[in-house]
Structure 1
Amino acid sequence: MQNLSIPQIDTAKVSIVQDFKEITKMRLALSVVFSSLAGYLLGVQTISWQTLSLLAIGGYFMVGASNAFNQIIERDLDALMDRTKNRPIPSGRMSVSTAFIIASIFTILGITVLYVINPKTAMFGAISIFFYVSLYTPLKTKTPLSVFVGAIPGAIPFMLGWVAATNEFGIEPGTLFMIQFFWQFPHFWAIGWFLYDDYKKGGFFMLPTGKRDKGTAVQVLVYTLWTVVTSLIPAFGVTGSLYITPVSALLILLLGVFLLKYAIKLYKIRDAKTAKQLMLASVSYITLLQIIYVADKFLRTWI
């Protein structure tokens, strides 16, 4: 009889790969890279696949570095929360020195790769790391204003792509920055709402009033409205070469109504389930908005 052996999986290698993905927050990093690429496609006249690749690689390095530094600084607090206690450092699977080496190498490689595109892109990438690691991370345990500070590096990627394409900063990348800046608030306050108890264990202040109350719900609603309004500004021809057609503006408006529906629902019900629905709706909103913006530009070019 033939002896059939079942191939064994090298669990050590799987663990190393998984820990690497977790320390750099791969899924989050890829979503940030997506925003950067969308911004690049909006700003470029002729696509350079080399630049596009460099932006994706450099962007991933920069976000991965920020996330690794963040987990080093918050390792003791991460150990207190159910959501984060199994991360590589608090679980003991990765040493602080190993994480620091990864973060440092990623920072150097990220700035270098983005500098090859142009110095402005590297500068904004470096600013993003500085704000996230040196300002946003330590403020999270001190004041709800940390979300405002964190919204700055969070809004840079969409803008960064345009700067990579044009080597210029003006009204167009500024508008892209503002769209993603305002979007951060309903998105992260929704997360802060449904993870409120877990964040409380780590001493994080994520909600504007510090509580899951009417005041927080009102601010979520206001910033959701600002997000939608800002997203529609390019339809009025006041943002330079950044422009969307009335058809695309209508699609964005419909997306905005969809997002506002959940913000209003949170205002009325104020529970964790609705907050999670709002968070998922916000992710859909920003992703589809970027796709619509890019599709609008290229469809106008082809037609």
Structure 2
Amino acid sequence: MRREPKRAGSAKEAYYELTKPNITLMILISTALGYFIGGNGVSDYGHFLITLLGSCLISAGSGALNHFAESETDKIMHRTNLRPIPAGIISSENAMAFGLLLILVGSGLLYWLINPATCVLALITSLMYLFVYTPLKKLTWLNTSIGAIPGSLPPIGGWVAATGTMDSEAWILFAILFFWQHPHFYAIALMFKDDYKKAGLKMLPVIEPDGSRTNRQIVWHA
């Protein structure tokens, strides 16, 4: 059952929505999982919580910058036209400044209090999301598979935060998350294919409306 889009009732709610809380929660869970498995548990809870906070801020900031980048597209689609920027609650400039501030603070926490490698991984995730996956949505249906790469990096970041090394076992977590994302996002694309088509986004269900290839991709990656 589809949920109807809902307009944020206040500026506070709108800024919270800019952080893409559902995606940020997934980032936190996968980062925590990588940290826990890589470190064989949590021995320093302060270190663990700073890792999660820094990762959360970078993810939230990336979400806000994505709102900024896609504000014109969001105006077109029914499922997104009540988001904070197209709804006129927050200006594009304020959303961009908010996003950059969150990323700056999160990067500082990870770099200075955890380790530079964890910071670099988090920033690579952010940059790939914003400058590779987001523009590819208008160019190729492969955007889902390419976008799954930054979406699968957080557990490696958690692992590196806990251990200081990028062990081969961390890539198993990457692979699990990479394959899981395909059924999830293809199902969303099937549900909202008319919206995506209207906005000119090259999702797989848009370029082959009968859904056969999409269903095969879902089964293959499940």
Same fold? TM cut 0.5 = yes
Aligned to 2:200: 203
Q: Distance in 2 between matches of 1:206 and 1:123?
A: 30
Gaps of 5+ in 2: 1-7
Aligned to 2:83: 87
Query: What is the CA deviation profile of residues 37-73 of structure 1, one whole-angstrom value per residue up to 9, with x for unaligned ones?
Result: 1111111145211111112211111111111111111
Structure 1 residue 14, shift from structure 2 partner: 5.9
Given that residues 59 and 126 in structure 2 are in contact (C-alpha distance below 8 angstroms), is that contact kept between their aligned partners in structure 1? yes
> Does residue 189 of structure 2 align to residue 192 of structure 1?
yes
Query: What is the CA deviation profile of residues 163-209 of structure 1, one whole-angstrom value per residue up to 9, with x for unaligned ones?
Result: 11101112111111111111111111111111111111211122278
Q: Distance in 1 between matches of 2:199 and 2:205?
A: 17
Greater than 4 Å deviation, 4+ residue runs? none
Given that residues 209 and 216 in structure 1 are in contact (C-alpha distance below 8 angstroms), is that contact kept between their aligned partners in structure 2? no
Aligned to 1:221: 219
Q: Distance in 2 between matches of 1:38 and 1:26?
A: 18
Q: 19, 23, 39: which is aligned to 1:24? A: 19
Q: 61, 65, 89: which is aligned to 2:61? A: 65
Q: 179, 182, 186: which is aligned to 1:182? A: 179
Cα distance, 1:27–1:216 mapped onto 2, change above 3 Å = closer
> Does residue 109 of structure 2 align to residue 109 of structure 1?
no
Q: Distance in 2 between matches of 1:208 and 1:19?
A: 30
> Does residue 74 of structure 2 align to residue 53 of structure 1?
no
Q: 31, 38, 41: which is aligned to 2:33? A: 38
Q: Distance in 2 between matches of 1:206 and 1:187?
A: 13
Residue identity matched to 1:215: R
Structure 1 residue 28, shift from structure 2 partner: 2.1
Aligned to 2:132: 135
Aligned to 2:5: none
Q: Distance in 2 between matches of 1:118 and 1:175?
A: 22
Q: Distance in 2 between matches of 1:132 and 1:214?
A: 27
Cα distance, 1:20–1:121 mapped onto 2, change above 3 Å = same
Q: Distance in 2 between matches of 1:137 and 1:49?
A: 35
Cα distance, 1:161–1:76 mapped onto 2, change above 3 Å = same
Gaps of 5+ in 1: 1-12, 225-303
Residue identity matched to 2:96: F
Query: What is the CA deviation profile of residues 228-270 of structure 1, one whole-angstrom value per residue up to 9, with x for unaligned ones?
Result: xxxxxxxxxxxxxxxxxxxxxxxxxxxxxxxxxxxxxxxxxxx
Residue identity matched to 2:30: S
Cα distance, 1:81–1:208 mapped onto 2, change above 3 Å = closer
| More relative contact order, 1 or 2 (CA 8 Å, 6+ apart) | 2
Identical positions, percent:
36
Q: Distance in 1 between matches of 2:23 and 2:130?
A: 16
Q: Secondary structure at the match of 1:79?
A: helix
Aligned to 1:278: none
Structure 1 length-normalised TM: 0.67
Q: 97, 100, 105: which is aligned to 2:96? A: 100
Structure 1 residue 27, shift from structure 2 partner: 2.6
